[in-house]
C-alpha cells in the first residue's frame, strides 16, 4: 500500500499516548438489549403479574409491553422466563453442591485392619 504524502511520522511517544487514550476508554452503553436480557430485567414483575394472586396471562403481559414498544409474544415471554428459571436453578444447585461436597464428605484414608501404616510421624 502507498502512504499519503502528507502523513506525519508516527513516533514511539505518539504510540504511547495513543495507548493511554485507548486504555482509558470505558465500555459504550448499548441502547439495544436482547429479548432475553429485557425479560431478565423485567422477570420479577412479569412473574408477579402472572402469579395466581394477580392472574394475568403471558399474552396480557405481552400486550402491556407492546404499549411500551416492546414487541414480544406471550409464548416468547413464557419461554424466556422458563429458561431464566432453569439457569438460576442450575446456579443454585452448583453452589449448593460445592458446599455440600466440602463440608459433609471429608476425605479420610482408611487402612485395612491389622495393616500397619508405612507413614512415619
Under 8 Å between Cβ of 36 and 86 = no
List Cα–Cα distances, 92 to 1, 19, 75, in angstroms. Answer: 56, 41, 26
> Of the candidates 53, 52, 76, which has an alpha carbon nearest to the alpha carbon of residue 61?
76
**Structure confidence by residue, pLDDT tens digits, 91-103:** 777 777 765 555 5
Domain ranges of the chain: 32-96
- pTM of the predicted model as reported, rounded to 2 decimal places: 0.56
Q: In 3-state terms, what secondary structure has residue 58?
A: helix
**Structure confidence by residue, pLDDT tens digits, 30-79:** 889 999 999 999 999 999 999 999 999 999 999 999 999 999 999 999 99
Distance CA 82, CA 93 (A): 16
Q: Radius of gyration of the chain from Cα atoms?
A: 29
Amino acid at each position: 500500500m502507498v502512504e499519503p504524502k502528507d502523513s506525519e511520522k508516527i513516533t514511539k511517544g505518539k504510540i504511547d499516548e495513543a495507548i493511554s487514550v485507548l486504555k482509558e476508554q470505558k465500555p459504550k452503553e448499548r441502547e439495544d438489549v436482547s429479548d432475553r436480557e429485557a425479560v431478565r430485567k423485567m422477570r420479577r414483575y412479569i412473574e408477579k403479574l402472572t402469579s395466581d394472586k394477580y392472574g394475568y396471562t403471558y399474552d396480557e403481559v405481552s400486550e402491556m409491553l407492546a404499549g411500551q414498544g416492546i414487541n414480544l409474544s406471550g409464548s416468547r415471554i413464557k419461554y424466556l422466563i422458563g429458561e431464566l428459571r432453569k439457569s438460576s436453578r442450575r446456579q443454585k444447585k452448583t453452589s449448593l453442591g460445592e458446599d455440600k461436597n466440602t463440608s459433609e464428605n471429608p476425605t479420610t484414608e482408611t487402612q485395612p485392619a491389622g495393616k500397619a501404616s508405612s507413614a512415619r510421624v
